[in-house]
Structure 1
Amino acid sequence: MSTEVYLVRHGETMFNQLNKVQGWADSPLTVKGIDDLKVTAHNLSQVHFDKMYSSDLKRAIDTVHLIADANEVSNIGKIKKFPAFREVFFGTFEGDDIDQTWEKVSLAGGMDPSTDVNEIINTLGIYRFREATKKADPRHLAENSAELDDRMTRAIEQLTEEARGLGRVLIVSHGDFIKTLGIKYWKQSDGLHDIPFPENGSVSRGILHDNGKFEIIDYNVKNQDLLDM
């Protein structure tokens, strides 16, 4: 039996609004973030889920509870937290200005200074981009490609085991983590270059197969389009 997975990005946070790097660092949902999530929650309110999960960061936990509370056709019960579905870790850059961080990463990757992360990724490729981020980090704590790929694999394995026998589940995660899953598992990605960053409150839909194979079939779906999924 395959399990349908709805991957939701949390709502807008204070760090999103202030243009700060936000990986394992956490900041609260904004009023706009909550209002936008109410739209997502309404559009998912008639979708039956056997279980809901989230990463262990508060912005994801708050998001999943808002969605669960609005759902009219599911009996969710306890919501389990999966640390493996945390956002990408940016090490020393956590909480720093995003544009200044990308300039440093660009230089570490041998490029002219650029604050356009899409340009950096498409020039270096996603794997070299992660290495450049770790290199630019003064303490070299930021996750590189191998570390992040290991964590993504562990996340999918844990979810496969947890959701075995269930028809449909929802898990709230984070923008860069979902995007990296998309680069690896979305059929429209070539596995190397950048894809659109998922919007706050958007849904990406995947299929978990019993053999552990995972594929994303819808990516970054938002607002009224959720009703057509």
Structure 2
Amino acid sequence: MTTEVYLVRHGETMFNQLNKVQGWCDSPLTIKGINDLKRTAQALSQVHFDNMYSSDLKRAIDTVHLMKDVNQVSEIGKIKKLPEFREVFFGSFEGDDIADTWEQVSLAAGMLPEKNITKIINQVGIDEFRQATKKADPRHLAENKQELDKRMVRAISVLRDLTIKEQRVLIVSHGDFIKTLAIKYWNRSDGKHDIIFPSNGSVSRGILYNNGQFEIVDYNVDAENI
């Protein structure tokens, strides 16, 4: 049996609004974030889910409970929190200004100073961007490509074990983690280059096969188009 997986990005947070690096650190949902999520929740209100899951970060937990409360056709019990689906970890940069952080990463990648992440990734590639982030981190705690890839594989394996008897599930995760999953598992990605960052409250849909294989079939779909 296959399992249909709805991957929802959490709503906008205070750190999103303030342009601060937000990986494993957390900040509350904004009013805009909650209102955007209500539209997503309403769009999914008539979709039956056998279960709902979330990252173990509070912004994801708050999001999944909003999805659960609005859904009219699912009977969801206690939400299981999965640390494997946390956001990418940015180490010492957590909570710092985004533009200043990317400038340091660009220098570590051998570039001239650059504050725009898209320009950095377009020049050096997503894999080198991950390596440069770890290199630029004074404590070298940020996840590099190998560490993140290992965690993604583990996340899919954990989800497969949990959903072996479930036909459709929803899981709330995070923008960079969902994007990186899509780079690896979406057939419209070449697996090497960057793709558009998913919007807050957007839905990406995947298929998890009983042999453990996973693929993204829809990516970054807004509530109005679900």
- 3-state SS of the aligned residue for 1:110? coil
Q: CA deviation at 1:165?
A: 1.8
| 1:147 equivalent in structure 2 | 147
| 1:72 equivalent in structure 2 | 72
- 3-state SS of the aligned residue for 1:188? coil
Work out the number of aligned pairs and report it.
226
Q: CA deviation at 1:225?
A: 0.4
Q: Deviations over 1:39-77 (max 9, x none)?
A: 000000000000000000000000000000000000011
| 1:157 equivalent in structure 2 | 157
Question: 2 CA distance for matches of 1:84 and 1:173?
Answer: 10
Say if 2:11 and 2:59, in contact at 8 Å, map to a contact too: yes
| 1:216 equivalent in structure 2 | 216
| 1:111 equivalent in structure 2 | 111
TM-score (norm 1): 0.98
Alignment of 1:22-171 (within 5 A): 22-171=22-171
Question: 1 CA distance for matches of 2:46 and 2:100?
Answer: 43
Question: 2 CA distance for matches of 1:137 and 1:224?
Answer: 39
**C-alpha root-mean-square deviation of aligned residues, in Å?**
0.5
Q: CA deviation at 1:117?
A: 0.7
Q: CA deviation at 1:113?
A: 1.1
Q: CA deviation at 1:24?
A: 0.2
Q: Which runs of 5+ in 2 are unaligned?
A: none
Amino acid at match of 1:97: D
Question: 2 CA distance for matches of 1:141 and 1:182?
Answer: 24
Amino acid at match of 2:102: W
Q: Which runs of 5+ in 1 are unaligned?
A: none
- 3-state SS of the aligned residue for 1:151? helix
Would you say 1:173 and 2:134 are equivalent positions?
no
| 1:206 equivalent in structure 2 | 206
- Identity fraction in percent: 73
Amino acid at match of 2:24: W
TM-score (norm 2): 0.99
Question: 2 CA distance for matches of 1:183 and 1:224?
Answer: 24
